[in-house]
Each structure stands twice: as C-alpha cells, then as structure tokens.
Homo-oligomer: A and B are copies of this chain.
C-alpha cells in the first residue's frame, strides 16, 4: 500500500545502527565487520532497497540524464540514432531525455533552456533546419556543459561532432550515375547555411568535375527539407527546358518528395529518370522502386555521438570530429541494365 521507498534511515532504524554504518556495509567498506555487512545486505534485499537517485544526484551534482534534441522524433533516421545513443547511455547508467525542435529555431532554443534547467549532464543535438545563429550553444559551451552535434553541426572547432563523410558520399553518387549512363545529374539541396547542404553540394561539384561533366547551376535546386518543398523542387527540375535524367536528393525526406514528384508526372524510375537518396536503410527498402542510396549507419552515428559525449564527460577539454564512412547501396531506382 505505502508508496514510500525504503531509505538507509529505515534500514538503520530497524537494525539499530547508524545510517553511515548501513551505507558503508552496502558498499563492502572494510571498516564494517563482516557480520554487520551481511546483516545489512540481507535486510536491504528483503526490503528491496534501492538508493535514491535524487539524493545521489544532489550529492554528486549530476542527474545521469543526457538531453537529446532532434528536428523530429518520428522520422526513422532520428529514431534510430536515438536508439543508438540510448544503447550506450543505458550501459553507462544514463537516461536519455528527448526533445524535438520541430525544425524550428525558437523551439530549439527553448529545448536547450528546458534541458539545462532540468540539469541534464550534457546535450547531444542535431540542428533544426532554421538554425543559423548559435548563441544558445555558445552559452552551453561557456557553462562547460558537454555538447555533441551530429549530422547537422556547427562550432566544429569547439565541440565534438559526428557526421557522415558527405563529400565522399556525394562524389560516389555522381560516379554511380555516370556508370549507369545518366548524363544530366540534378541535386536537390537544403537550406544553404546547413553544413550538410554545403558539403553535399561540394561533393556533387567535385564529382561532376572528376566525371568530366559540366556544372549547370539550374540543376541545383533548393528546398526546405520538407516533403512538399522537395516535391516542388522536383517539379521545377522537370519543367526545365533541358531537364535532368538523374536526381540526387539531399536526405531521405527529400528523396521521397522527389519520388512523389516524378511519379506524379508519370515518369518511370529508373528508365526515364534515375533517383538516388541520402537515406537510412529502412526507408530505402520500403518504397517502390527500392531506392539506391547512401545509407547512413544511423544506429552507429548515435553510438558514436554517445561515445564522444562520454569522452567529453571524462576530459573537460576534449573535442573531436568523427566522420563516418557511408555506404552506397545500388537498388532499382538508379540501375538501368541488370
């Protein structure tokens, strides 16, 4: 019936010893006699004692919580990364508290504030698509609170970051298209200020260069990373006087948006137009046709982010940029002859 948890005090009273004796006995402190230790442990077991994390936290000045901020929680990409973070956190006895920015700058700032007020031990963050100023994170850095970014990152010179090798990946996509005989390769990018946009664009251009293809500015379209805006971007590309015969979308949602746009025009994939996404494994296989894509090792990204986080927890002045290798997996959406 009683809701109350058993405390050291309760055990101490019952055994007629002091709280400190109980505390030490439970930790096998050598000062305590062996019989006492056993007696205490037995009772603790019976009463189902577990130490109060609030008291511990107060003492140790730590909550054992990691705050994670993502643009949204329902996209498989983020859900899977969160799962990766959590797998490591749990091992270390930490909890993960998730906040969603909903791709909004204001909500991101708010989430940071809330999590800090809740005294999380640190933050793991993927920037919202709107975020262009970083005061809120600079404050975190000044306060010496561990901070790790992944995928969409900033302040790389001061905090740990985990990203995919975007340049290399984009280059490989271009080469893959070339191998499959595609000639005019378009790129649907995201907001210019995001590192993923910059890096993937750079890789795309390097790839074109290496492939001996000309760079046509009209083949680079912008979108805000939403499905709808990606679909419009695709439509614009298809309305070009000289439309592309291949498209590379900057991330999973964009790839789907592009696919919808293509299907709407009754064009065939991969015959009329090749499509490659920058996507996580799961989504790529569920659509029709299966999407050729650079697949992110999402779970691993999460784990790496957590790893960097704990490294930072140990060593105040550490930070590190992890660049994870990606995989180009060829599927039906861009393979013409097989």
- Residues of A participating in the B interface, judged by any CB pair closer than 8 Å: 1-5, 50, 52-55, 57-58, 61, 63-65, 73-74, 76, 79-80, 82-83, 86, 95-98, 100, 116-119, 142-145, 256, 282-283, 286-288
Contacts and interface: CB of A to CB of B under 8 A. Distances in A.
Contacts of A97: 95-97
A137 to B, nearest CB: 16
A109 B75 CA distance: 28
Q: How many copies, total?
A: 2
Given A83-B73, A98-B86, A98-B96, A118 B53 contact: yes
Contacts of A79: 73-74, 76, 79
Contacts of A288: 287-288
A3 B145 contact: yes
Contacts of A52: 58, 119
Nearest to A63: B54
Interface of chain A, main secondary structure: mixed
A45 to B, nearest CB: 14
A83 B100 contact: yes
Given A4-B61, A52-B58, A58-B58, 7 more contacts: A50-B117, A54-B58, A73-B82, A73-B83, A76-B79, A86-B98, A95-B97
28 contacts: A1-B142, A3-B143, A3-B144, A3-B145, A5-B119, A50-B117, A52-B58, A53-B63, A53-B118, A53-B119, A54-B54, A54-B58, A54-B119, A58-B58, A73-B79, A73-B86, A74-B83, A74-B282, A76-B76, A76-B79, A86-B100, A95-B118, A96-B97, A97-B97, A98-B98, A256-B286, A283-B286, A287-B288
A168 to B, nearest CB: 26
A282 to B, nearest CB: 7
B76 A74 contact: yes
